[in-house]
Amino acid sequence: MRKIEVIKADSDKGRDSGKHFEIREWDAEIADRWATRVVLALTRGSKPMPFPVEALLGRGMEAIFVIGLQTILSASVATEEVIPLLDELLQCVRFVRDPAARDKSTGGHITTDIVSPDDIEEVRTRWWLRSEVLRVHTGFSAADMFGTLLSSIMSKAPRSGNTEALPAS
């Protein structure tokens, strides 16, 4: 059975604060084809990693994420290729207009398609929803993983010989 998860937008989501959304996991074939299209789009024109690969050894999914992030940041991807991929992620999202209302036959939330610009009013909510769709499909949060990985890489990065304190401003 595919995952279905209802999430609530936190107070940092501005006009979308407090809104509830349902995320429905794609079936394996759709998810696989989407991921393949993303990988193919991102690997065209990418550059080598700017830090030693050894820093990623033994990091599991963190390593996969950082390689993906580095590929994204260095890729030459056409807008007309990326926008549809991003839009497809939002196809997994439905709006929960009344979190207290339940479907009498299933007991689940009553949801609708995203049909109005008022359903999602903030750009940051759209990006958050995309990251939540990826989390539901992969089992980990890209935002949390990025923070952990960045801390890990920074702790292993070679330090310069200059240990003088910066002047106070």
- Tell me the residue type at 35: A
Return d(Cα 33, Cα 130) in angstroms, integer: 17
Residue-wise pLDDT tens digits, 96-108? 999 999 999 999 9
Residues of the chain below pLDDT 50: 163, 165-167, 169
pLDDT at 65: 65
Query: φ and ψ at 102, to 5 degrees?
Result: -130, 145
Residue-wise pLDDT tens digits, 72-88? 666 677 778 888 999 99
Helix residue ranges per DSSP H, the chain:
28-43, 61-74, 79-90, 123-138, 142-156
Return d(Cα 130, Cα 93) in angstroms, integer: 9
Structure tokens at 73: 């940041």
pTM: 0.70
pLDDT at 1: 87
Query: What single string gives the DSSP state of each residue in 148-161?
Result: HHHHHHHHHSPPPS
pLDDT at 88: 95
